[in-house]
């Protein structure tokens, strides 16, 4: 596989349409989904040529952890639908590569089991689905398992309207009714290898880190429980106390106002994100929102970017515009679908190789040398 687009094509051949579109799609007209990628095309490099760079130093320190290069594998829920190896494969691939992995609340692997297969940097992404007591129990499990950073998602007071999911019958497929599922089963039957793995995995649609009324949360309950328990600014205080003093990131920030509020509530940093274009369609591309957030933070905390990363050169552009690191979800999800852990490792290696080559071509020997003077934006940027 030469690039992430190759992994995407292979994933499309391996997965039923509903599962592939879950990874690949966005909300409503998918304007923000497309803009997340297109924004990187509107940033061009201003390289420093005729300089010797040697082998680049890709290392970066993010919230106290040294990473082999500035990439965190973003939280992706429902991963057991993508591949039976699921989060274990992702965590092992991240650990091998020396980067961090942020586990979704809606994951199919218990946090303590994930720690057993990974000695790398693990973060936990938090939804409050199920209410405060349920969330506090999830936080405690993650903390006891050695997860070092808590990323609190704030942009899901309701789920975005994902039209591909509706067309593909995802609500019906997630339901317990076979009569509702029946019209949508042919797409599953076209992928017998995937279907065999899914049928063999009885807990693929349960989330063991979210225990509601004594049982792991079921996938079909996600929309209801999320909308009943949206995260509000007043919740950050008790979340911080429950987490016990470790770093907290606020994920889902796209304005300077929200960035300042997050810091005021005690966050150690923010993740500039529009949920991969899966929530509010028409919200700004993450990269476009980045400079405003960086300016608002003013060096008082770390700013990370999530959304639109498809190449290592995208990581370089984000760092030049002020991000400390980036999170990337779709790229490794395509790899997971294509070939399990080996596919995730290939996705990471593609991004790492691209990143190192681009950094050296720009004229930098280390990540710390990247800065705003090395890129320029089009006239449509503020």
User: What tokens appear for 55 in the block?
Assistant: 């082998």
Beta-carbon contacts of residue 223 (< 8 Å; ≥ 6 apart): 158, 159
Report the domain count for the chain.
Answer: 1
Residue 23 lies in a domain: yes
Residue 282 lies in a domain: yes
Domain of 195 in residue numbering reads as 4-375
Residue 382 lies in a domain: no
Residue 381 lies in a domain: no
pTM: 0.95
Residue 380 lies in a domain: no
Question: 43-45 and 269-272: which strand pairing?
Answer: unpaired
Residue 210 lies in a domain: yes
Is residue 184 part of the annotated active site? The answer reads: no
Find where tokens 């225990």 sit: 211
Residue 213 lies in a domain: yes
- Residue from 333, 324, 335 nearest 302 by CA: 324
Q: What CATH number has the domain bearing residue 49?
A: 3.20.20.70
Among the listed residues 80, 88, 251, 275, the single catalytic one is 275
Residue 183 lies in a domain: yes
pLDDT tens per residue, the chain (382 residues)? 799 999 999 999 999 999 999 999 999 999 999 999 999 999 999 999 988 777 779 999 999 999 999 999 999 999 999 999 999 999 999 999 999 999 999 999 999 999 999 999 999 999 998 899 999 999 999 999 999 999 999 999 899 999 999 999 988 887 767 777 788 889 999 999 999 998 888 888 899 999 998 889 888 888 888 888 899 999 999 999 999 989 999 999 999 999 999 999 999 999 999 999 999 999 999 999 999 999 999 999 999 999 999 999 999 999 999 999 999 999 999 999 999 999 999 999 999 999 999 999 999 999 999 999 999 987 666 5
d(CA 146, CA 247): 13
């Amino acid at each position: 596989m030469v690039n992430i687009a190759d992994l995407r094509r292979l994933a499309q051949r391996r997965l039923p349409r509903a599962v592939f579109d879950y990874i690949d799609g966005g909300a409503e007209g998918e304007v923000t989904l497309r803009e997340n990628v297109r924004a990187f095309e509107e940033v061009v490099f201003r390289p420093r040529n005729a300089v010797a760079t040697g082998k680049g130093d890709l290392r970066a320190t993010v919230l106290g952890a040294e990473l082999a290069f500035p990439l965190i594998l973003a939280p992706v829920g429902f991963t057991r639908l993508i591949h039976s190896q699921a989060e274990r494969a992702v965590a092992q691939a991240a650990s091998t590569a020396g980067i961090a992995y942020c586990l979704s609340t809606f994951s199919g692997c218990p946090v303590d089991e994930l720690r057993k297969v990974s000695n790398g940097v693990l973060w936990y992404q938090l939804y409050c689905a199920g209410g405060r007591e349920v969330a506090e129990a999830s936080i405690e499990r993650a903390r006891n398992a050695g997860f070092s950073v808590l990323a609190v998602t704030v942009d899901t007071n309701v789920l975005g309207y994902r039209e591909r999911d509706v067309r593909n019958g995802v609500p019906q497929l997630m339901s317990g009714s076979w009569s509702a599922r029946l019209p949508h089963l042919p797409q599953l039957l076209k992928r017998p290898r995937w279907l065999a793995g899914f049928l063999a995995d009885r807990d693929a649609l349960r989330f063991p880190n979210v225990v509601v009324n004594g049982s792991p949360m079921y996938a079909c309950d996600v929309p209801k429980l999320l909308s009943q328990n949206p995260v509000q600014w007043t919740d950050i205080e008790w979340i911080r106390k429950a987490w016990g003093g470790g770093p907290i990131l606020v994920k889902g920030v796209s304005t300077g106002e929200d960035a300042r509020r997050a810091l005021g509530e005690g966050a150690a940093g923010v993740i500039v994100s529009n949920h991969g274009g899966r929530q509010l369609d028409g919200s700004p591309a993450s990269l476009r929102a980045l400079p405003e957030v960086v300016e608002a933070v003013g060096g008082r905390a770390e700013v990370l970017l999530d959304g639109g990363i498809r190449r290592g050169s995208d990581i370089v552009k984000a760092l030049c515009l002020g991000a400390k690191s980036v999170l990337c979800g779709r790229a490794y999800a395509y790899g997971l679908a294509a070939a399990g852990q080996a596919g995730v490792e290939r996705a990471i290696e593609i991004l790492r190789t691209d990143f190192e080559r681009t950094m050296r071509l720009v004229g930098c020997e280390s990540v710390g040398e990247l800065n705003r003077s090395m890129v320029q934006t089009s006239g449509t940027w503020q």
